[in-house]
Amino acid sequence: MRSMSQLTRFSSIIPALTVAAGLAAHAHALDTWQINMTVDNQYAAYVGTSSATVGAAVQADTNWTNVESFTVSGMSASDYFYVATASDFSGAQGFLGEFNNVTQSLNFNTGSAAWEVLPVGAYLQQIDASWPTTWPYLTMPTQSQVDQTLAWASTNTSAWVTPSQYLNWDNRVTGNITTWGHFAGIDANAEWIWHNTGSGNPFYGANHDEFLIFRVKGVPAPGGAAVLGLAGLVAVRRRRER
């Protein structure tokens, strides 16, 4: 017969196992995302694994003045949301968006710690020697070229880096200082992001190792949700201090 202390210890394990099982089941549920976004100048968005897209583009646009609002269903915890972009290398370029995993109540605004960018232009010849040494402006990569890049990056993971931001370049309603102004339909806390090959503002016209591919994972790694929450608090505090 077990002692009372053994029974107490055993009973304390049961709820923990139940919670763990519930979390495991929850982590493998298929999620629905609500997305509001724009890219200056062009983009195509995909869902995929760490090494390839799956299915056709879920959204694409060539007019940065529009905000595209759309829903993506069937996202798993291990899926990535990819945004391949192209710009005109002049004027301005940038990516702004609000990404909500409504199933799990997670938010991935651009500017959060969850986002990564692959500056493909820095690795064109390594990915495919037949590609140009400089990617042509306003030229979107095909889905096949995106997949070829993702396959290469899956074994060259250090090529993924943190996107560049710039002080006060966000989507605030009042006092917006960006080239684009406020975009209704996108969270005011979202930050413009891009890649920067030099110093200063990454959103002014230049070829910043394009084309670029941005990505965010469907569910952050353990502890990542806390990081996202902290990033949101920091963003709010930073705006209050400006």
27 or 70: which carries more pLDDT confidence? 70
Q: How far is CA 199 from CA 65, 89, 135, 236, in A?
A: 27, 16, 21, 25
What's the CA gap between 10 and 5, in Å, rounded?
9
What's the CA gap between 110 and 35, in Å, rounded?
11
Distance of CA 213 to the CA centre of its chain: 9
Give the pLDDT band (50/70/90) at residue 29: low
Its pTM stands at: 0.82
Per DSSP, the three-state class of 117 is strand
- Percent of the chain predicted with pLDDT > 90: 75
CB atoms within 10 A of CB 229: 13
What's the CA gap between 103 and 9, in Å, rounded?
34
pLDDT reading at 11 higher than 70: no
Token pair recorded at residue 9: 């210890």
Buried b (16+ CB within 10 A) or exposed e, 21-59: eeeeeeeeeebebebbbbbbbbbbbbbbeeebbeeebbe
Alpha carbons within 13 angstroms on the beta-carbon side of residue 132 total: 9
pLDDT reading at 127 higher than 50: yes
Q: Is the omega angle on the peptide bond into residue 211 within 30 degrees of 0, that is, cis?
A: yes
Give tens-digit pLDDT for 130-188. Answer: 999 999 999 999 999 999 999 999 999 999 999 999 999 999 999 999 999 999 999 99
pLDDT of residue 198: 86
